[in-house]
Amino acid sequence: MRNFWTIFKRELRVYFTSPIAYALMVIFLVVAGYFFYNSLAYYSLLSFQAMRNPYLENLNLVDMVLSPLFGNISVVMLLMVPVLTMRLWSEEKKSGTLELLFSYPVRDIEVLLGKYCAALAVFMIMVGLTGFYQIIIWSLGQSAPGVAVSGYLGLFLLGAAFIALGVFVSSLTENQIVAAAVSFGVLLLFWVIGWSASTVEAPLNRVFEYLSLVKHLVNFAKGIIDTADVVYYLAMTFFFLFLTMRSLESKRWRG
């Protein structure tokens, strides 16, 4: 565990002593804030119209602003996470420090978890800063702590899976741009694969629906924690971490 903490702190220091983490956080919050503002502005517009239109009386801030917020944040994550993970292994390989790292008395799993958890910590800070939006919603008189907790749990699990995939792709190449592009492409494929479910026959349609990243976030955004959705994200996370371990072991074996 001592080696894990050493690597974890080293990776965090790299993130926060360079513009990487700060640039990602600013862009993430600006784009997510734009989505939140638009949803809130649209809700306010409909609220004023409801005074004269009886069909708009059942407006709900949670359904119109809070739940969609998690879906909007997940879209921003799709763009930001590949940039967050692209350097984790690619930079080590390009600079030649990966061989030096392997020469130290540390296990591959300690190096992998140290890097992975550092990226996950930066991600959690980014998402945690959006808690300010929850304060705004609660100040408007419609609190839904169950939906908020469920939604952020879904984002955490989704982010954990995103980062695991990005870490794996980064271990395959020494070019950071290639790592980011491939990670984004694979994540996008998992994102949109559910759209093809209606165009194929059973049982392939159910496979496409299950593999869809966005489908499993819907329940979390509604305040529903389904075991099947939790298992899906955890399985994706452990699968790509397992593949990364095999990738590192092959590099150590080849020398």
Closest CA to 167 of 209, 108, 224: 108
What value, to the nearest 5°, has the Cα angle with vertex 246 and ends 241 and 250? 145
Domain span holding position 116: 2-254
Cβ proximity of 222 and 207 under 8 Å:
no
Instruction: Point out the least confidently predicted range of 28-32, 36-40, 139-143.
Output: 139-143
**Higher pLDDT among residues 91 and 243, named by residue:** 243
- pLDDT > 70? residue 251: no
Q: How many Cα atoms occupy the beta-carbon half-sphere of 121 within 13 Å?
A: 16
Is the pLDDT at 31 greater than 80? The verdict is yes
**In 145-173, which positions are buried (b, 16+ CB within 10 angstroms) versus exposed (e)?**
eebbebbbbbbbbbbbbbbbbbbbbbbbb
pLDDT tens-digit series, residues 85-109: 988 888 777 776 666 666 667 787 8
Q: Is the pLDDT of residue 67 over 60?
A: yes
Helix axes 145-170, 67-85, angle to 10 degrees: 20
Count of domains for the chain: 1
**Angle CA 239–206–66, to nearest 5:** 75
* Mean pLDDT of all residues in 22-35: 91
Mean pLDDT of 108-132: 90
pLDDT at position 249: 78
CA-based nearest residue to 118, from 13, 8, 10 = 8
Average pLDDT rounded to a whole number, residues 68-95: 86
Please check the confidence at residue 56 and state whether its pLDDT lies above 80.
Answer: no
pLDDT at residue number 101? 66
Element (H, E) at 162: helix 145-170
In this prediction, residue 227 carries a pLDDT of 92
Non-local (6+) Cβ contacts of 131 within 8 A are none
What is the C-alpha separation between 57 and 49, in angstroms, rounded?
A: 9
Task: Round to whole Å and give the CA distance between 47 and 59.
Answer: 7
User: If pLDDT is split at 50, 70 and 90, which confidence band does 123 have?
Assistant: very high
pLDDT band of residue 55 (cuts 50, 70, 90) is low
Q: What does the alpha-carbon distance between residue 199 and residue 40 come to, in Å, rounded to a whole number?
A: 35
Confidence of residue 136 (pLDDT cuts 50, 70, 90): confident
3-state secondary structure at position 95: helix
Distance separating alpha carbons of residues 52 and 151, to the nearest angstrom: 33
pLDDT at 59: 65
Position 70 pLDDT exceeds 80: yes
